[in-house]
Amino acid sequence: MALEKTLAIFGYPLGHTMSPVMHNAAAEALGEPYRFLAYEVRPENFEAAFRGSLAMGFGGICITIPHKIAIHGLVDELSEDARVMGAVNVVTFGEGGKTTGHNTDGIGCARALEEETGETPEGKRCLLIGAGGAARAVGVKLAQSGAAHIEIRNRTSEKAVALARFIETNIPGAKVSGGGLGDLAGAAADREIIVNTTSQGMKGDPERESATPLPEEAIPEGAICTDAVYNPVDTAFLLAAKRRGARTVTGIGWFVNQGAAAWKLWTGTDMPKDLVRRKVLEVLGAA
């Protein structure tokens, strides 16, 4: 029997990552010889852990906060998405130990949108709330997918302006502007896709969990609203969007699709996404 290969996620702190649930469910369903483990790795130990995983013949790794940038200097090459998005969330170990950094976060969001609404960002006016790492990956993907215009709004307006400029510079033909949270309702009024990438709505702190990045009355009825936050699955923002009659795409779709893209890179096989999604929802208590 083939030796089981280890897949792993490295982060610090890791908290309640659902990645082991997702990838182990895929391995079991497909009968593939992989086991996925989660390791809390402090920043000062990250390089040693990375080199160790390569030395021990891991099948591949996922990288999360705070290592998504540090990994850049350690891999042999970057995929085009990882280069433009400025962050790596997946590493593959190739022939002769060649390491490649990838970013599947943007793909996760774009595929979830298409899978769950049948629509793509092409030709659409988008509002992206937040300007951190997730916003950069999604903003780049929306621009690459041919969005007509992307408005980026963030609590710290300079970061939104800088991200808008970055995307316009790096993605040919992209039309992007950035600003603060002032008149967010006005910014949302004509938008067809609205994406939250801030931590508003995330489980943990009750005040944060009940917060929405956009006031309910500002959500356009016909919009597609989606959230990077997947715990809780139905965030305050998505519940408000539903009440307004907007279509919603939960962060679970992003999570499963970014994971499926990673799984494909590591194993060459297709993740059974529906089964995995059900399993993740079950463990989150949201099935």
Q: Which positions are annotated as active-site residues?
A: 68
In the block, tokens 């969990």 appear at 209
Q: Which is nearer to ligand ATR, 60 or 201 (CB)?
A: 201
Q: What's 2's DSSP letter?
A: P
**Strand 90-93 versus strand 60-63 pairing type:** antiparallel
With CB atoms as reference, the residue minimizing the distance to ligand ATR is: 132
**Strand 60-63 versus strand 176-179 pairing type:** unpaired
- For the bound state, the minimum distance from the C-beta of residue 228 to ligand ATR, rounded and expressed in Å, comes to 7
- For the bound state, the minimum distance from the C-beta of residue 208 to ligand ATR, rounded and expressed in Å, comes to 7
* DSSP assignments along 128-162, one per residue: EE--SHHHHHHHHHHHHTT-SEEEEE-SSHHHHHH
Give the sheet arrangement for strand 247-249, strand by strand. Answer: 176-179, 149-153, 125-129, 193-196, 224-227, 247-249
- For the bound state, the minimum distance from the C-beta of residue 160 to ligand ATR, rounded and expressed in Å, comes to 8
- For the bound state, the minimum distance from the C-beta of residue 158 to ligand ATR, rounded and expressed in Å, comes to 9
Q: Which is nearer to ligand ATR, 90 or 134 (CB)?
A: 134
Strands (E), 17-117: 34-40, 60-63, 77-78, 90-93, 99-102
Gap between the Cα atoms of 193 and 248, Å rounded: 10
- For the bound state, the minimum distance from the C-beta of residue 99 to ligand ATR, rounded and expressed in Å, comes to 22
Instruction: Summarize as ranges the residues that interact with ligand ATR (CB under 6 A).
Output: 130-135, 154-156, 159, 197-200
- For the bound state, the minimum distance from the C-beta of residue 263 to ligand ATR, rounded and expressed in Å, comes to 21
Q: Which is nearer to ligand ATR, 27 or 176 (CB)?
A: 176
* DSSP assignments along 173-199, one per residue: T--EEEE-STTHHHHHTT-SEEEE-SS
User: CB–CB of 125/175 below 8 Å?
Assistant: no
Gap between the Cα atoms of 141 and 125, Å rounded: 14
Q: Which is nearer to ligand ATR, 65 or 189 (CB)?
A: 65
What token pair was written down for 152?
A: 């980026």
Radius of gyration in angstroms for the set of CA atoms belonging to the chain, rounded to a whole number: 19
Length, in residues, of the chain = 287
